């Protein structure tokens, strides 16, 4: 490799007067008087909605942070509690359906705090005119996924909205799990020197869904990776390593999850692009559409931040589990460029891996 790659400069997100927080302003949600699709994209706009609208409105009734799941003290132990809504279109896609996502998504949000998921609720919002056969297939998928994950469906609700007010089937699931003693996992716990591990191929779910989206149908062998991950997390915990942070990189992909960890922990994260496990089919689809695989959703993968001395042992445990056969160490937490994720490119340059803003938009050409 020719020399010439410049050294990385240490910065904080607002050094030099540059607003690299991508706009934090005292006037909430300026410029946009109503909800746009980007507010649900899992990127910067979603975060702003929470920070500038929900949290001020909730005031003292809200916990300090509204994460994917909350760990709550209860009866001498700790419960994990999480809720998530599912509005995926189309409802059925290669490798799964909205029913699989509704169970596995909430199970995984609980698992990322180290919890063993136990109970789920299911709440449906149905559009008038939805075929019962379709709803039945979703319900069967929910039942099968819950049995596979070993969780019980214990309560629920059903509402119907007029034909023009919805779009098929929306599902909300909330879940409760128990956090084992001694487990202390959270996005603020990453430290410089820690290893960054991903449990397998990235971008698969997003590409599977896009491949059958109206107007975009393209032939692919990619199937969604939707799967429950609490067994994999239990195997990691069983190594005795002190896991720092876990995230399942769903909306916004690996980029969003690692940016959130970097900011919450005030560390930088260095990625090695060549180590990223991106299947050729995902590369090709993203190349065609002008999307970044790091920003594409996953539904059966996790990111783990672990102390360097435990990295090999944890990686071996992940690879020994059926859900982690192609796990890789993809990077390191560093003291430099706090709050930012930087990738070393295959050619030897560097680039910042940013938080997606809103919806990923396919490019024109």
User: From the list 16, 59, 73, 219, which residue makes contact with other proteins (rule: CB under 8 A)?
Assistant: 16
The footprint of other proteins on residues 289-318 (CB under 8 A) is: 290
Q: Which of 124, 61, 54, 112 is nearest to 82 (CA)?
A: 112
Q: Is 164 in the site for other proteins (CB under 8 A)?
A: no
User: From the list 91, 142, 179, 340, which residue makes contact with other proteins (rule: CB under 8 A)?
Assistant: 340
Q: Which of 147, 106, 110, 111 is nearest to 123 (CA)?
A: 106
Contact mark string toward other proteins, 41..60, x via CB under 8 A: ---xx---------------
Question: Sign of the CA dihedral 90, 94, 98, 104?
Answer: negative
Count CA atoms within 13 Å of residue 331 on its CB side: 30
The footprint of other proteins on residues 220-279 (CB under 8 A) is: 274
Nearer to other proteins, 275 or 313 (CB): 275
Q: Is 335 in the site for other proteins (CB under 8 A)?
A: no
SS3 for 68-137, per residue? Answer: CEEEEEECCEEEEEEEEEECCCCCEECCEEHHHHHHHHHHHHHHCCCCEEEEEEEEEEEECCCCHHHHHH
Nearer to other proteins, 17 or 182 (CB): 17
Q: Is 31 in the site for other proteins (CB under 8 A)?
A: yes
Q: What does the chain come to in residues?
A: 365
Nearer to other proteins, 45 or 197 (CB): 45
Cα radius of gyration rounded to whole Å, the chain: 20
Nearer to other proteins, 43 or 105 (CB): 43
Nearer to other proteins, 20 or 92 (CB): 20
Q: Is 20 in the site for other proteins (CB under 8 A)?
A: yes
Q: Which of 271, 68, 99, 71 is nearest to 169 (CA)?
A: 99
Nearer to other proteins, 146 or 269 (CB): 269
Alpha-helical regions (H) of 204-335: 204-210, 230-238, 253-265, 280-289, 311-319
Question: Which residues in this chain contact other proteins in the complex, by CB under 8 A?
Answer: 1-2, 4-6, 8-9, 11, 15-20, 22-23, 31-32, 34-38, 44-45, 215-216, 274, 280, 283-284, 287, 290, 337, 340, 342, 345-352, 354, 357-358, 361-365
């Amino acid at each position: 490799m020719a020399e010439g790659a410049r050294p990385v400069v240490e910065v904080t997100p607002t050094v030099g007067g540059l607003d690299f927080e991508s706009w934090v302003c005292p006037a909430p949600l300026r410029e946009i008087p109503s909800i746009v699709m980007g507010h649900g994209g899992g990127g910067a706009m979603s975060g702003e909605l929470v920070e500038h609208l929900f949290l001020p409105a909730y005031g003292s009734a809200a916990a300090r942070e509204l994460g994917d799941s909350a760990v709550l003290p209860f009866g001498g132990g700790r419960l994990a509690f999480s809720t998530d809504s599912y509005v995926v279109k189309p409802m059925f896609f290669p490798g799964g359906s909205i029913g699989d996502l509704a169970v596995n998504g909430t199970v995984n949000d609980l698992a990322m705090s180290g919890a063993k998921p136990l109970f789920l609720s299911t709440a449906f919002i149905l559009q008038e005119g939805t075929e019962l056969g379709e709803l039945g297939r979703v319900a069967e998928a929910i039942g099968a996924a819950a049995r596979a994950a070993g969780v019980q469906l214990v309560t629920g609700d059903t509402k119907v909205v007029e034909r023009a007010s919805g779009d098929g089937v929306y599902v909300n699931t909330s879940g409760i799990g128990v956090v084992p003693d001694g487990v202390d996992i959270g996005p603020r716990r990453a430290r410089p020197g820690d290893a960054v591990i991903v449990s397998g191929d990235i971008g698969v779910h997003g590409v599977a869904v896009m491949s059958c989206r109206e107007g975009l149908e393209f032939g692919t062998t990619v199937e969604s990776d939707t799967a429950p991950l609490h067994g994999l997390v239990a195997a990691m915990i069983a190594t005795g390593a002190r896991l720092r942070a876990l995230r399942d990189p769903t909306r916004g992909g690996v980029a969003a999850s690692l940016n959130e960890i970097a900011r919450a922990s005030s560390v930088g994260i260095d990625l090695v692009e060549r180590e990223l496990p991106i299947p050729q089919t995902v590369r090709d689809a993203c190349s065609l559409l002008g999307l970044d695989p790091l920003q594409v959703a996953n539904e059966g993968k996790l990111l783990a931040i672990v102390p360097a001395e435990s990295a090999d042992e944890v990686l071996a445990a992940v690879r020994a589990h059926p859900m982690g056969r192609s796990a890789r160490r993809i990077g390191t937490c560093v003291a430099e460029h706090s709050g930012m994720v930087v990738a070393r490119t295959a050619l030897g340059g560097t680039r910042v891996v940013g938080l997606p803003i809103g919806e990923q938009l396919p490019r024109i050409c």
